């Protein structure tokens, strides 16, 4: 197979556009609340499960490629990308129909008062560190995933392998930390 550098350059414009557009659209949609719509409060455990499945798929895909099962690896990676898209749609839908949950908000009034802060203690800071790194890396991983994928579909496997060494741990962290964030905040959902 030959490397198609022309095709890769064409994809680079899409990678840049998507890497900028996706976070901006998600941020904009966060500011929009759909009125008179039943909150989609059933979604968080579903999209947390999608994150868990994504993490598992990534690990199996890594196993597949290290065992020279390229077709299985390719299908698993396409599946992982699809799962991430489904996750993103559900995540945005939830936040467009539901108020954000605050970690430690025991009485569900949307305010973390002194008493509630004392009850959660330093776990709040651990939660915020995990949440913050999850959010930042979920934005940062977008171009890495797209570049890694494009290098594979354009048969640029040497460069694909190099960037995959960065993409894999970032994406795995985002998937796993998404599950951890959900587990930590789930007691405070309405």
- Contact status, residue 47 vs residue 93, Cβ threshold 8 Å: no
Q: What is the pLDDT along the chain (190 residues), one digit of tens a residue?
A: 666 677 778 898 899 999 999 999 998 988 888 888 898 999 999 999 999 999 999 999 999 999 999 999 999 999 999 999 999 999 999 999 988 889 999 988 888 899 999 999 999 999 999 999 999 999 999 999 999 999 999 999 999 999 999 999 999 999 999 999 999 999 998 7
> Is residue 12, in this structure, part of any structural domain at all?
no
What is the pTM for the complete model shown? 0.91
- Assign residue 184 the CATH number of its domain: 1.20.120.80
Query: How many separate domains does the chain show?
Result: 1
Domain annotation covers residue 7: no
User: Is 122 part of a structural domain of the chain?
Assistant: yes
Please give the structure tokens belonging to residue 130: 């995990």
DSSP state of 187: G
**Considering the domain boundaries, does residue 19 fall inside one?**
no
Torsion of CA 78, 80, 81, 83, to 10 degrees: 120
Give yes or no for a contact between 56 and 80, defined as CB atoms under 8 angstroms apart.
Answer: no
Is there a domain that residue 11 lies in? no
Rounded Cα–Cα distance for residues 168 and 16 (Å): 20
| Distance (Å, whole) CA 99 – CA 105 | 13
- What is the Cα–Cα distance from 104 to 119, expressed in whole angstroms? 8
For residue 68 the two structure tokens come to 């020279």
In a domain, 6, yes or no: no
Is residue 14 one of the residues assigned to a domain?
A: no
Range(s) of the domain holding residue 89: 40-188
**What distance in Å separates the CA atoms of residue 121 and residue 50, rounded to the nearest whole number?**
30
- What are the phi and psi torsion angles at 7 (to 5°)? -65, -40
């Amino acid at each position: 197979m030959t490397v198609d550098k022309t095709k890769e350059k064409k994809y680079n414009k899409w990678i840049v556009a998507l890497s900028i557009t996706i976070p901006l659209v998600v941020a904009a949609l966060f500011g929009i609340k759909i009125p008179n719509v039943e909150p989609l409060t059933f979604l968080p455990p579903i999209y947390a499960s999608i994150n868990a499945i994504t993490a598992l798929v990534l690990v199996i895909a890594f196993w597949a490629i290290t065992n020279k099962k390229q077709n299985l690896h390719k299908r698993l990676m396409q599946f992982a990308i699809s799962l991430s898209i489904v996750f993103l749609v559900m995540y945005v839908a939830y936040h467009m129909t539901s108020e954000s949950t605050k970690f430690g908000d025991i009485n569900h009034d949307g305010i973390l008062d002194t008493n509630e802060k004392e009850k959660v203690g330093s776990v709040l800071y651990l939660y915020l560190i995990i949440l913050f790194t999850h959010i930042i890396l979920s934005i940062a991983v977008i171009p890495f995933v797209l570049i890694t994928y494009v290098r594979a579909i354009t048969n640029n496997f040497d460069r694909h392998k190099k960037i995959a060494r960065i993409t894999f741990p970032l994406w795995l962290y985002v998937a796993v930390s998404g599950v951890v964030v959900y587990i930590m905040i789930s007691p405070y959902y309405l």
